[in-house]
Structure 1
Amino acid sequence: MDHEIVIAQTTSDDEEQAKSLARGAVESKLAAGVHIDAPITAFYWWQGKVEAAQEWRISYMTSSDRLPALEAWLHERHPYDVPQWVTLPVTGGSEAYLSWVVDETRPQ
């Protein structure tokens, strides 16, 4: 396969916002699919103190060539000042699935 596949992740403290960020990325062909994990508890430093929050993890399956557009799209819409944005390379998987990701993220 010529294209690299990545999983990009962010979080949201609002379930409806998470669904909106998921659906919008798929509708825009920026991600082939998106998973939203059940609420997780996050602990983190923010403005000099430890915070805790309930969040939903959003995982985008996309191709590396669509990643910059997905990141820009997300940052325009995400309500956090500093949203989590991490990418994980996919180093293996079924050829059929990986091809599907590439096919579904081709710009129209």
Structure 2
Amino acid sequence: MAEPVLIVMCNFPDAASAERAAHSLVERRLAACVNILAPIRSVYRWQGAIEQTNEVPLMIKTTASRYAALEAALLAEHPYEVPEILAVEANRGAAAYLQWVADATEPDEHLPDGL
């Protein structure tokens, strides 16, 4: 059985920053796949005021063992002061897909820091 797969959600302020992050995460093998979803309108409380803004959500598939590095990469690249980074474990899934996620996020010994 493959290790636990996580689905990580993270919103970005625009398509360009979302696409940069998606490519970086997959290139660095921190994510097997990143879906760049349709823009959404977010309403939230920030510093005592109700705000609303358009955002581009990413749905990121990774493994539990790669989560810490993925979160660190998102925090380093994200333009928000407090980016939304939420992870949930996939309780079920097609065995072949779950194994593919594990294989696609296996650290590459030829990359710096084993990324």
Fold equivalence (TM over 0.5): yes
| Separation in structure 2 between the aligned mates of residue 8 and residue 2 of structure 1, nearest angstrom | 18
User: Displacement of 1:7 after TM fit?
Assistant: 0.5
Residue 11 of structure 1 aligns to a residue whose secondary structure is strand
| Separation in structure 1 between the aligned mates of residue 100 and residue 33 of structure 2, nearest angstrom | 10
User: Displacement of 1:26 after TM fit?
Assistant: 0.1
Alignment match, 1:3: 3
* 1:47-58 alignment runs, 5 A limit: 47-58=47-58
* Residues 1:83 and 2:83 are matched in the alignment: yes
Q: Which amino acid aligns with 2:62?
A: T
Q: Deviations over 1:55-90 (max 9, x none)?
A: 011111000000000000110110000000100110
Q: Which runs of 5+ in 2 are unaligned?
A: 109-115
Q: Which amino acid aligns with 1:100?
A: W
| Separation in structure 2 between the aligned mates of residue 2 and residue 99 of structure 1, nearest angstrom | 5
Alignment match, 1:29: 29
Q: Which amino acid aligns with 1:107?
A: P
Identity between Structure 1 and Structure 2 (%): 39
Q: Deviations over 1:12-48 (max 9, x none)?
A: 1111000001010000000000001101110001111
Q: Which amino acid aligns with 1:35?
A: N
4+ residue runs over 4 A deviation? none
- Change in Cα spacing, 1:100 to 1:2, as seen in structure 2 (3 Å) is closer
User: Displacement of 1:2 after TM fit?
Assistant: 4.0
Q: Calculate the aligned-residue CA RMSD, in Å.
A: 0.7
| Separation in structure 1 between the aligned mates of residue 2 and residue 52 of structure 2, nearest angstrom | 41
Pairs aligned (count): 108
Q: Which runs of 5+ in 1 are unaligned?
A: none
| Separation in structure 1 between the aligned mates of residue 37 and residue 44 of structure 2, nearest angstrom | 19
| Separation in structure 2 between the aligned mates of residue 60 and residue 11 of structure 1, nearest angstrom | 11
* Residues 1:69 and 2:69 are matched in the alignment: yes
| Separation in structure 2 between the aligned mates of residue 85 and residue 3 of structure 1, nearest angstrom | 21
